[in-house]
Chain A
């Protein structure tokens, strides 16, 4: 029994049907972790990208160093740090939040590069025109540069959304009951791993296919309003 749901081991088919709702519990956690992690990656990545293109070196360098550090260390180490080391300093976060944060921070390093490339792809003349019109740098960034950069980078960001989703199982090592962790526990308790793990694989396939279609839909249906997308 798991999440108050009994499994039926009378036949393989019955077993699969009975554990499906249990896996859905895990699926919800997986999706939540994906969404929260992606949201953190989107915001933090944008902040990092803005810092990395700052005019002063004192701002630029720490941001670059941080990005490099995040990118060059495994997600699992960052996760362990947040989960085991932070409490030593009196900061204890719930397991789910720790996991989502680790995912978000890890992927912010990647999204920041996506943003940076997108921002650099906006024609230089746009910044010059904004400057000639005396628009403030902040306003130029949010209202001139960013709106032109975002449609170009949606496919790349979408790919990272799928990647995050596929990295969520790592969170099971810090006791987050996401889908794969749930499947493993079912296997531990019933001795049958083949069916739950196969079902997780199939569910992942379905989710990533849906996500990919979603990203493609966004990419083709987002108003481009005259932006030349190369």
Chain B
């Protein structure tokens, strides 16, 4: 059954003369866990940033649910989306950033309650309760009153994940969530993401260089190259028998960097 919650229809993204996404067609099913891999500059993060409405598109249409994201319907015609439409659409998505981007002047708890109170109109007590549940899930209940700089990178990123979840998104976007971490802290963050991957309803889109992890949690792996999907398939297919030469070369380079 095909029930795409995300659909890229010939999406073009350019930065100046540089084409980042080249008429990209891409779908993610409801509840699916998809990992995007590929060389840097292949447009992986751009896909997430477009979905989070941090980057505009230059062509094509992106759908989230059954609605266009960067457009809206007006008299049977697609016109550029208003800020109001974007605000409405954005609530379905949550994003975890490479650099965490926690609010440094707010406590961990406040980081988690600010948006639910301000945006969703949740009561303070309810937001706080939900925040504590999320902190429990990421194993940080005792850090609620601290400020981000008092935490380790791994703890900060776990707060980042909890903060995104506090908005109850249907789709979680992870933009290289462990790339800025010291190696010994990567595991604790991946464990949290792994827990999330067990949630049946949550759609997850992950950009990462952690290949073993991607293999464990993903339903599907997409190999991006030059703004397009060069090859995609189940983790087994991609990691054990990649068909494309580019995929083989990339995987060889990242999995056996010493050769």
Contact = CB atoms under 8 A, between A and B. Distances in A.
Most chain A CB within a 10 A radius of its CB, from B91, B101, B147, B167: B101
Contacts of B101: 123, 125-126, 128-129
Given A125-B97, A226-B149, A135 B104 contact: no
B19 interface: no
B10 interface: no
B97 A227 contact: no
B206 interface: no
B158 interface: no
B103 A126 contact: yes
A133 B93 CA distance: 9
Contacts of B103: 126, 129, 144
Most chain A CB within a 10 A radius of its CB, from B99, B103, B105, B147: B105
Interface stretch (B25-33, B111-119, B196-204): B111-119
Given A128-B97, A133-B167, A134-B91, A225 B104 contact: yes
Classify the interface of chain A: helix, strand, loop or mixed.
helix
A131 B54 CA distance: 8
Contacts, number: 65
Contacts of B119: 133-136
A149 B119 CA distance: 23
A34 to B, nearest CB: 29
A132 interface: yes
Contact of B105 (A128, A139, A227): A227
Interface in B69-111: 87, 90-91, 93-95, 97, 99, 101-105
Given A133-B119, A133-B163, A133-B167, A128 B54 contact: yes
A225 B147 contact: yes
A134 B87 contact: yes
Most chain B CB within a 10 A radius of its CB, from A123, A126, A129: A129
Given A132-B90, A143-B114, A226 B97 contact: no
Interface in A84-100: none
B52 interface: yes
B189 interface: no
B115 A133 contact: yes
Contacts of A225: 104-105, 147, 149
Interface in B133-152: 147-150
B164 interface: yes
B87 A133 contact: no
A106 interface: no
Interface in B187-246: none
A62 interface: no
B148 A226 contact: yes
Contacts of B94: 132
Nearest to A128: B54
A197 B87 CA distance: 62
A147 B103 CA distance: 10
A134 B94 CA distance: 10
A123 B147 CA distance: 17
Contact of A132 (B54, B147, B150): B54
A128 to B, nearest CB: 5
Contacts of B150: 226
Given A132-B93, A148-B105, 4 more contacts: A128-B101, A133-B119, A144-B103, A228-B104
22 contacts: A123-B99, A126-B101, A128-B52, A128-B101, A129-B101, A131-B54, A131-B90, A132-B52, A132-B93, A132-B94, A133-B167, A134-B90, A134-B115, A134-B119, A135-B114, A135-B115, A147-B105, A148-B104, A148-B105, A225-B149, A226-B105, A226-B150
